[in-house]
Amino acid sequence: MRPYCKLPELNFLPLLDPPEKTHITPAYCFAFKERRILLICENDGCRLPTMEEFKSLGAGALREQYMGEYGNTSCFVMEVDGVALNQESVRFEELRKLYDVLGEQLAALAGRAIQLLEWDMRTAFCGRCGSGTFRRQQERAKECPGCGTLFFPKISPAVIVLIEKENEALLARSPGFPSGLYGLIAGFVEPGESVEEAVVREVMEEVGVSIRDLEYFGSQPWPYPDSLMIGFTAKYAGGEIRMDAKEIEDARWFRHHEIPAVPSTSSISGQLITYFIERHAHPE
């Protein structure tokens, strides 16, 4: 296993119905409004509200869904209605900032929560016949009573790759990146395509080079909005960098000591780049 490919450590059991408990314990509330999560912020930092705390705020929920158990704590996700919350302790935070605020495990659970919530929102009606759907009891799915179509939570597979040429790595900038930030070549898997074929195609389309020796690195759920990022390493095989101007505004080769600003290791992109840096900074 690659040293920077993080193995899952989340103590979470996905369930459809809350288990019976011998004593009452607080339950986490993942409450969202327009993809921003509600937090309780006090002198010692910010945290998730419990279900009781959420109810005490006086806000309603447009929809609610049980997620499962985080250790011995039940987890629920809900959509907050449009009522403004005036309490000074309440804050709505962006998902991308949660790793620093809540830590890796709860941030990962928040990503799972928003994907379940948006699946519930988007499948309220059948896309085939227009009937209102209902949740099935035996699995995480919505069913249309009119035509029987099933709707499962959507997952969009995407690939990301670290390409090496001797002691250099290929990094690129998308026009939408923050100033000075570089990342790796990535893109979505197309219908009828293997993930390996998707890597080769994306690299050729975005930077015009060919690759070889493709190896699996790891994967990461990425709720922006519903991706599963599948990471690879590869070797440069030939060609000159030729950028797709719509997707890439800059791409070049960097040695390990020249790496510019890149994503943190909370993302698989940052893990891949850190893997490259460590291997070349401390060769065996």
Query: Domains (ranges, CATH) in the chain?
Result: 12-122 (3.90.79.10), 124-153 (no CATH), 156-281 (3.90.79.10)
Residues with Cβ within 8 Å of residue 199, at least 6 apart in sequence:
159, 161, 211, 214, 232, 234
Per the listing, tokens 């403004």 go with 84
Once rounded to an integer, what is the mean pLDDT over residues 124-153? 97
For 96, which DSSP code?
G
pLDDT score recorded for residue 42: 86
Kindly report the length of the chain: 284
Which band of pLDDT confidence, cut at 50, 70 and 90, is reported for residue 56?
confident
C-alpha 47/C-alpha 37 separation (Å) is 11
- Report the predicted TM-score, pTM, of the whole model to 2 decimal places: 0.90
Dig out the tokens for 178 from the structure: 């923050």
- Mean pLDDT computed over 127-148: 96
Q: What is the pLDDT of residues 151-164, one digit of tens each?
A: 999 999 999 999 99
pLDDT digits (tens, 9 = 90+) for 227-236: 999 999 999 9
pLDDT for the residue 82: 67
For position 1, what pLDDT does the model report?
A: 45
- Would you say 214 and 234 are in contact if contact means Cβ atoms under 8 Å apart? yes
